[in-house]
Amino acid sequence: MARAMNPWGLVLWGVVACGPVPDAPEGDVVPVTAHQALASDNGESLNGLAFNGLAFNGLAFNGLAFNGLNSAAFSGWYEQDPALADTVMKYVTACALAAGETRTYTDARGQTRVWAGGLGLAPDWGAGRPATVREQQLVSGCLAAHVNKFGRTVPISVQARDGRGQPVATTPGELSTFAQREGCFFGNLFTQSGVFVGHDAPPLRPHESSVRACALETGKDACEPIARVGACETLCTKDPSGTFYTQCTYKGVSYAPVTTRIRPQDIYSCGDGVCQFTERAGFGLDSRHCTLDCGLH
């Protein structure tokens, strides 16, 4: 199967959590994927975003109740950097709340922001209760999965079980459209434990390149603070169907991950006749010196 790449801009933040409530019981393991619509909507909303939000500190997000956005604590955090905070909340809401749900906030300048739900990974948190550890981990992994170091937009499929162990909504044909496995994303930004990514397919070969660089590229690059941790299959447990991962353990800590898939056409290859923005001119056949597509200069 041809590899595919998947560019998604995402902003994450470091956060300090209040004491989380116990995890919700997990239900039967069911293969699940995110709404296709979320991929499209998130792609548009994430376009052009970078990693600066991963280091964005201020509000203890575990204390953020989605039914209390007009609190003094939230307003104080938001007004530190309204543009970045607006972006962060787009991602938080899309990951945590279900499709069809929205949250509204009016800032100090009288501008009303409306953030739409999508995946519904944190139903209890979305209902106004403290986020469980599982919900913290799922939202953190979801945010990491939408980071894009190039600021480009490409649809992805996100697969997971929500905070209550229920399958996230999927659409017919999603697995066939997003046929290329990509990665597993996990961690906990709420407790400042970091975020991690493993590759769920062989890493890109020298002549290949991807806008979704963090999961499938090798070596050190600009994906920090997302840390690469090797192959998903060595760290994670698959659901019975083998479609996605239900738990990943790293350095003795177990996390509820999200698993991503991308479209095969979203991985570029030197020699396909198109000089992609991920390729460079030069003498050679690898993506950094792709004579066939980009010429010598």
Which residues are CB-neighbours of 168 under 8 A, at least 6 positions away?
32, 33, 34, 35, 119, 120, 121, 158, 159, 160, 161, 162
Alpha-carbon gap, residue 271 to 290, rounded angstroms: 8
* Rounded Cα gap, residues 94 and 72, in angstroms: 23
Return the number of other C-beta atoms located less than 10 Å from residue 268's C-beta: 25
User: Do 55 and 194 contact (CB within 8 A), yes or no?
Assistant: no
Q: Which DSSP state fits 242?
A: S
pTM: 0.82
Question: How many CA atoms does the CB half-sphere of 232 hold within 13 Å?
Answer: 31
**pLDDT per position in the chain (297 positions), as tens?**
444 332 223 333 333 222 333 344 343 333 333 333 344 333 322 333 445 444 444 344 555 666 667 777 788 888 888 888 888 888 888 899 988 999 989 999 999 999 999 899 999 998 888 889 999 999 999 988 888 777 777 788 899 999 999 988 777 788 888 999 999 999 998 888 889 999 999 999 999 998 887 899 876 666 778 899 999 999 999 988 888 999 999 999 999 999 999 999 999 999 999 999 888 999 999 998 999 999 997
The Cα 283–Cα 290 span in angstroms is 7
CA distance 56 to 52: 7
Q: Where are the alpha helices (DSSP H) in the chain?
A: 36-46, 72-78, 82-96, 123-126, 133-145, 174-177, 213-216, 232-235, 291-294
User: DSSP per residue over 246-281, as a string?
Assistant: EEEEETTEEE--EEEEE-GGGEEETTSS---TT---
* Gap between the Cα atoms of 102 and 98, Å rounded: 9
Q: 98 to each of 35, 161, 249, 275, 292, how far by Cα in Å?
A: 10, 13, 27, 39, 45
Tokens of 130: 């403290």
Q: Where are the beta strands (DSSP E) in 30-70?
A: none
